[in-house]
Amino acid sequence: MLKNLINKFEKTSLHVLFWVGLILAILFSELIGLTTVYIWKREISGFYFFLGFITPLLDGSLVIAFFTLAIRQLREIRKSLTEEISQHQHAKKELIAAREVAEDATRSKSEFLANMSHEIRTPMNGIMGMTDILLDMELSAEQKEVADTIKASGASLLTIINDILDFSKIEAGKLNLEAVNFDFRDMMEQIGKMLGVLAKAKDSSLSCQIAEDVPQYLVGDPVRLRQIIINYTNNALKFSNRKPVVIHASVEKKQAKKIRLRLAVSDKGIGIPAEKFGVLFHSFSQVDTSTTRKFGGTGLGLTIAKKLSELMNGEVGVESMVGKGSTFWAIVELGIGERTVQLKDADQHEEVEMDKTAVHILIAEDNIINQKVATMTLEKMGYTADIAENGRVAVDMLKIGEYHIVLMDVQMPEMDGYEATKAIRNGDAHEFNKNIHIIAMTANAMKGDREKCLAAGMNDFVAKPVNRRELKSAIIHFLQHAEMKIQDVV
């Protein structure tokens, strides 16, 4: 623009320049003596850099008649800025490349964790499932104690696995909480039963104290709330020195529709020095390395409890004295729920009104051990079941047999659970099976796996290791709504 202006000035009469100079004198008098760098882009050579300064021209009456614009090219500035731009572009390319590498690493990490989760959960399903079946048999007191210990140890191993996976989700910011209505007192009873076995194995005892003003029904994420309590209680039992451990639940603050619930786990164990409090809720941190050697643990349980509490708009803390014991507490915000039909009531309803032997279930599962676990578990519940070793066989069996439910594994050879479900929904297993009830029963238990199964056309989801109570609930929930159809078929 300035260059064009100068060219025009050269072709303009002195009379016009006088008036232009006068106008410029009024408009730009404040710029006298100032130096400015002008940059404009030329199509061929890129950026072009000039330094300009304004000099007034005076007539005989000392009136500013015009400003001259002296311009000189600054090659050194151009070179410097060109290099700077080049470095910036190079740094930008490196940043993009580094981001792509980081994204690839994150994807690889997620894939590894998903595979690890599946590979560990598959044999764990055999261990936990067979132990449940064993506990249903008539055992001597000693045999029952052995089986209970196996189950408790399996549950502890599963907790460690879940801690590692959950920590990864938390670090990636991908852990989301549910908001469902649940029976808090029933949940605490189940925790007490499960960890009571572990306490007994450690020659300790476990009790649970719930204040009267704590509502029975709450709204929140019972799985994550349970995880906080279990992590605290596992720690307490680990360091209890064969002394009692107590779980406390009380109301910190109560409003019309929500509550701040205080959960605390107390032990009379070895205690913690005050100067070590600061490291307790940090990832992979323990009081000292000898603790890991003597008592075990990943150092993630307290970190996860802290993160989960914060996700519930809460906080955590600890009170402890060396040789006297410790109390770990968490305050969480939950909604106040309402009474719903309990699973116990559902069980009774099912036993009174349903002929379970008329219900035929097809199990699509490639793992031989898990085939046995599923078959024996369903037989214990009173149902009849057949096995299909992969998705393709499942589709073929549906063509020739009458089934009411399919328990569908996901990772199978030849045809996986997603493909099999799609084929069934498309009518490849006859029109009358297009809407058959399909329950995913899979070791794929990472974030999004449930949603993926439902999106593929499955109706429900149960993760491995299969919790028999959850499987029973999923089956009963369907049968109660489909009872008339089943009677029509039979």
Question: pLDDT averaged over the chain?
Answer: 78
Per the model's pLDDT, the better-predicted residue between 170 and 189 turns out to be: 189
Query: Could you give the CA distance from residue 77 to residue 50 in angstroms, rounded to a whole number?
Result: 9
Q: What is the mean pLDDT of residues 438-445?
A: 85
Per the model's pLDDT, the better-predicted residue between 161 and 94 turns out to be: 94
pLDDT at 75: 57
Task: Determine if the peptide bond prior to 465 is cis (ω within 30°).
Answer: yes
pLDDT at 327: 93
Residue 392 included in any domain:
yes
Query: 349: pLDDT confidence band, cut at 50, 70 and 90?
Result: very low
pLDDT at 393: 96
CA 300: distance to chain centroid? 15
Per the model's pLDDT, the better-predicted residue between 303 and 114 turns out to be: 303
Residue 463 included in any domain:
yes
249 with 304, same domain?
Answer: yes
pLDDT at 398: 94
pLDDT at 157: 81
Q: At 89, phi and psi to the nearest 5?
A: -65, -40
Tokens in use for 72? 């000189």
421 with 287, same domain?
Answer: no
Query: 211: pLDDT confidence band, cut at 50, 70 and 90?
Result: very high
Among the candidates 311, 336, 361, a domain finishes at 336
Among the candidates 73, 108, 126, a domain finishes at 73
Range among 11-15, 23-27, 288-292 rated most confident: 23-27
Q: Classify the C-alpha dihedral 292-295-300-306 as positive or negative.
A: negative
Contact (Cβ atoms closer than 8 angstroms) between residue 147 and residue 135: yes
Residue 157 included in any domain:
no
The answer, yes or no, to whether residue 13 has pLDDT greater than 70, is no
Per the model's pLDDT, the better-predicted residue between 151 and 423 turns out to be: 423
pLDDT at 355: 65
Range among 6-15, 21-30, 277-286 rated most confident: 277-286
198 with 231, same domain?
Answer: yes
pLDDT tens digits for range 262-299 = 999 999 988 888 887 777 877 655 555 444 444 445 56
227 with 286, same domain?
Answer: yes
Query: Could you give the CA distance from residue 271 to residue 249 in angstroms, rounded to a whole number?
Result: 21
pLDDT at 169: 72
Among the candidates 304, 336, 368, a domain finishes at 336
Q: What is the DSSP letter of 467?
A: P
Is 98 strand, coil or helix? helix
Tokens in use for 332? 């969480």
Nearest to 189 by CA among 130, 249, 239: 249
Domain coverage including residue 61 = 2-73
Query: 62: pLDDT confidence band, cut at 50, 70 and 90?
Result: very low
Per the model's pLDDT, the better-predicted residue between 472 and 51 turns out to be: 472
Residue 44 included in any domain:
yes
Range among 5-19, 41-55, 184-198, 287-301 rated most confident: 184-198
181 with 330, same domain?
Answer: yes
Query: 80: pLDDT confidence band, cut at 50, 70 and 90?
Result: confident
Number of domains comprising the chain: 3
CATH of the domain at 484: 3.40.50.2300
pLDDT at 297: 54
Residue 203 included in any domain:
yes
474 with 394, same domain?
Answer: yes
Q: Which helix (H) or strand (E) holds 209?
A: strand 206-210
